[in-house]
Each structure stands twice: as structure tokens, then as C-alpha cells.
Amino acid sequence: MATHHDSLIAIMVLVSAADNDIADQELKKMADVVRSWPVFNTFDIETLPETARRIATALEGEDGLEVLFGDMQSALSSQLCETGYALACEMAAADGVLTDEEMQVLELVRHRLNIDRLIAAGIERGARARYAVA
């Protein structure tokens, strides 16, 4: 059974891999998030690379995406589902370019985590504002 940490990291890996390339900026952002977001206070940052590799391998397996979302739905409360969607938006915005594939994954995550459209719009706007440049 996946933990809430595993599920949240899985969301970040899923969004980062959406365009078939996990950019260095996305890897750095993932580590920064794990170090700074309160939801990860009890997570051992040293295990992040292995956790991310394990999740990426699971995604490649048969029904990997379905298993991943099943684990997420079991491990995440409704509040942590919103946190998960916020993480998805952070990862999508991290490299400064939102690809069509990332937008599709964001929509999939939003639907599978049952995030209300209005709440999702607020989360998306917050991420967009954080990464805006002059």
C-alpha cells in the first residue's frame, strides 16, 4: 500500500514525465518541494531518488497508471488530493513551458483526484503567478 508521501511524489513524477523528458529543473523542483512543503516534514529526503525510480518503473508496467491512481485514491484524503493537484501544477510550471502533454496529465490528475473545477482554477492560477516573469 502506498503512503501519502509515495502518492504525492508519484504525482510529481507523472507530471514531470508527461513530455517524455524529466528536465533538470523539474528534478530540482521536486527535491525543493520535498524539502520545503510541510506535507513532507516526516519524509526522508535521502529516499527521494529511489522512491521516484520505483514509481517511474511502476508506471511503465501493465496497468501502471491505473494502479498508481488506485493507490493515490486510497492514500490521499480530500485535502491531500488538493495538495496533490497543487504539486502537479508546480511541476508543470517548473520548467517554464506547459506542454500539451502536461496539460492532458493535469486534467487527468484533476479528474482522478476529484478536484472541483473552481478549486483547480485557483490552484492553477497560483502556480502561474509564482512562475511569471517580467
pLDDT of residue 14: 94
Is there a contact between 84 and 4 (Cβ–Cβ < 8 Å)? no
pLDDT of residue 116: 96
Contacts of 91 (CB under 8 A, 6+ apart): 11, 12, 15, 16, 26, 29, 30
DSSP class of residue 1? -
Average pLDDT over residues 45-63: 89
Rounded Cα–Cα distance for residues 2 and 10 (Å): 10
pLDDT of residue 31: 95
Angle at 104 between CA 100 and CA 110, to 5 degrees: 145
Name which residue leads in pLDDT, 2 or 23.
Answer: 2
Q: Which residue has the cell 497508471?
A: 65
Give yes or no for residue 1 having a pLDDT over 60.
Answer: no
Is there a contact between 10 and 55 (Cβ–Cβ < 8 Å)? yes
Q: Which CATH architecture has domain 4-130?
A: Orthogonal Bundle (1.10)
| Domain ranges (residues) in the chain | 4-130
Per-residue pLDDT tens for 96-129? 778 899 999 999 999 999 999 999 999 999 998 9
Average pLDDT over residues 46-50: 92
Q: Name the pTM for this structure.
A: 0.91
Per-residue pLDDT tens for 7-47? 999 999 999 888 777 777 778 889 999 999 999 999 999 99
- CA pseudo-torsion sign 98, 100, 105, 107: positive
Average pLDDT over residues 75-95: 93
